[in-house]
Amino acid sequence: MSGAAASGIALTEARSVDLGAVEAELARLWRAPAADDGPVTTRACTSNLIAFCASPAEAAACERDVPEIVRQHPARVLLLAADAEAAPALEASVSAFCYPAGRGGRFCSEYVVLRAGGDAVQRLPSAVRPLLVGDLPTTLWWTPSDRSPPDAGKLFAQLDAMADQVVYDSRGWRDPVDAIVATTRWAGEAPPAKAISDLAWRRLEAWRRLVACALDPAVVPGALGGVREVTVEHGPHALPKAWLFAAWLADRLEWRPVRGRLTPGREIVWGFVSRSGPVEVQVRRGRAGEPEMKRVDIRWSVEGAEATRTFERLGPGRLGVAGDASGERPAVVATVEGSRSDFVARALPARGGRSLFRAALGAARGMAEVLER
């Protein structure tokens, strides 16, 4: 063992091998006899995970995440460490992440790192294809987060073609408007069976749940149909998340965007038409803070009476909701924030919710199309 890579998880010694010898080296890994007093080792693999990293820094971050991901969802991991600035070469190394199982045994997940420099980056898809374990789902985790995946052109398209699911993170997109348009176009052309997971969307689940609960017709009858105004405040780099949130509301509540005004770096204001009248949505950027949604105010009107609910991020893992009724104390709920690795691990087995996300993406695109810039 080369040492613990994460709590309770250890990485076996990595061996550099020729590309053509990767499978043989993996097989050797499982044939190697255990020491007499060593733990019983079980190879665990429920899917293929291709993790694409566009720089050494991204690859290093990804390597830190992989142990926790495979602990939660055992997979053959193919980490693609690209470095366009490096000399053109393609190298492979093989190892395994092992973690304790019951009764003194351990489970191990195969870990293959393919490092590509210069022009060799474009050859990565051909190196990956023969290394996929047949008959298992394949997920492409696209880790570059400054641009949308389709921006990477042919390289992304080739890796995408191998995958049943693509996981990416829109948090950090430099040009959210163009990225949303490009992503929506790609998602629209993807086969219906392909799962698409934006980690920003997954991070929104706690907000969505809280809003859905607090505005449930059983709690405040008529609120959802009578929404007049929504204000979303977010920190730097969280515009795509706030946009998706607004798009989700628009899609689910059947609002049609009719106009939008972008003030770069400050806010976007959209006008929608709902069945019961106009709705205004303001998405405002805070000057500092974490890349998260900070606060959402939803104001509605039912039979002439107005009311507001305020949803607020109170700190890591805590969301609060308060109404405007006097005497009611703000309620606080725990949220599963987790790390990036947690969200990727949870995305891997997910099969449902695709149509909802795609519909929200479609609404996000509609909102992009009405923007005056």
Partner 1 sequence: MPERDEPNPLAAGLSQSLLAQPCSLAIFGGSGDLAKRKLVPALYNLALDGVLPANFAVVGIGRSDFDDETFRDVAREGVERFSRRRLDANHWPDFERSLFYHRGSVDDPASYAELKARLEKIEAACGVSGNRVFYLSIPPDRFRTCAEQLRAAGLVTPSDGPGPFTRIIVEKPIGHDLASAREVNETLAQVFDERQIFRIDHYLGKETVQNILVMRFGNAIFEPLWNQKYIDHVQLTVAEAEGVGTRAGYYEGAGALRDMVQNHILQLLCHVAMEPPWSLDPDVVRDHKLEVIQCLRPVTGDDVDARVVRAQYGAGFHRGDAVPGYRQEEGVGRDSTTETYVALQLFIDNWRWAGVPFYLRTGKRLPKRASEIAVHFKDVPQILFNRDRDAPLASNVLALRIQPDEGLSLRISAKLPGPQVQVYPVKMDFQYGSTFGEQSPEAYERLLLDVMAGDATLFMRRDAVEASWAWIDPILAAWERSGARWLPEYDAGGWGPVEADRLMQSSGRRWRTL
Taking the complex as a whole, the smallest distance from the CB of residue 286 to partner 1 amounts, in Å, to: 23
Taking the complex as a whole, the smallest distance from the CB of residue 144 to partner 1 amounts, in Å, to: 27
Q: Residue 122, CB half-sphere, CA atoms under 13 Å: how many? A: 4
SS3 at position 10: strand
Give yes or no for residue 327 binding partner 1 (CB under 8 A): yes
Give yes or no for residue 215 binding partner 1 (CB under 8 A): yes
Residue with tokens 């061996």: 15
Q: Which of 3, 134, 352, 372 binds partner 1 (CB under 8 A)?
A: 352
Give yes or no for residue 276 binding partner 1 (CB under 8 A): no
Of 30-38, 59-67, 90-98, 205-213, which segment contacts partner 1 by CB under 8 A?
Answer: 205-213
Tokens encoding 25: 């080296």
Give yes or no for residue 111 binding partner 1 (CB under 8 A): no
Taking the complex as a whole, the smallest distance from the CB of residue 285 to partner 1 amounts, in Å, to: 25
Beta strand pairing call for 138-142 and 165-168: parallel
Q: Which of 61, 84, 86, 101 binds partner 1 (CB under 8 A)?
A: 101
Cβ atoms within 10 A of the Cβ of 28, count? 13
Give yes or no for residue 323 binding partner 1 (CB under 8 A): yes
End-to-end CA distance of the chain: 56
CB-based contact 305:254 (threshold 8 Å)? no
Nearer to partner 1, 227 or 239 (CB): 227
DSSP state of 324: S
How far is residue 211's CA from residue 209's CA, in Å, rounded to a whole number? 6
Nearer to partner 1, 93 or 165 (CB): 165
Per-residue contact flags (x/-) with partner 1 for residues 24 to 43, judged by CB under 8 A: ------------------x-
Q: How far is CA 281 from CA 233, 242, 276, 364, in A?
A: 11, 11, 15, 13
* Helices and strands: H and E segment counts in the chain: 10, 20
Of 50-58, 160-168, 175-183, 347-355, which segment contacts partner 1 by CB under 8 A?
Answer: 347-355
DSSP state of 292: S
Q: Which of 6, 41, 58, 71 binds partner 1 (CB under 8 A)?
A: 71
Give yes or no for residue 222 binding partner 1 (CB under 8 A): yes
Taking the complex as a whole, the smallest distance from the CB of residue 346 to partner 1 amounts, in Å, to: 9
CB-based contact 363:247 (threshold 8 Å)? yes
Q: Which of 150, 136, 89, 141 is nearest to 114 (CA)?
A: 89
Residue with tokens 């255990």: 34
Helices 354-369 and 239-252: crossing angle, nearest 10°? 100
Tokens encoding 121: 């980056």
Q: Which of 219, 258, 259, 277 binds partner 1 (CB under 8 A)?
A: 219
CB-based contact 266:284 (threshold 8 Å)? yes
Nearer to partner 1, 55 or 308 (CB): 308
Give yes or no for residue 205 binding partner 1 (CB under 8 A): yes
What is the footprint of partner 1 within residues 284-303 (CB under 8 A)?
302-303
Q: What is the CA radius of gyration of the chain?
A: 23
Of 52-60, 141-149, 152-160, 207-215, which segment contacts partner 1 by CB under 8 A?
Answer: 207-215
Give yes or no for residue 72 binding partner 1 (CB under 8 A): yes
Give yes or no for residue 332 binding partner 1 (CB under 8 A): yes
Taking the complex as a whole, the smallest distance from the CB of residue 154 to partner 1 amounts, in Å, to: 33
Of 5-13, 152-160, 212-220, 233-241, which segment contacts partner 1 by CB under 8 A?
Answer: 212-220
Tell me, by CB under 8 A, how many residues bind partner 1: 59
User: Dmax over Cα atoms in the chain, in whole Å?
Assistant: 78
Taking the complex as a whole, the smallest distance from the CB of residue 333 to partner 1 amounts, in Å, to: 5
Determine the Cα angle at 21 with ends 124 and 160, to 5°.
25
Q: Which of 272, 276, 220, 223 is nearest to 251 (CA)?
A: 272
Of 19-27, 133-141, 178-186, 314-322, which segment contacts partner 1 by CB under 8 A?
Answer: 314-322
Write out the residues near partner 1 by the rule CB under 8 A. Answer: 42, 44, 46, 71-74, 101-102, 107, 205-206, 208-219, 221-226, 249, 252-254, 302-303, 316-319, 321, 323, 325, 327-329, 331-336, 345, 349, 352-353, 355-357
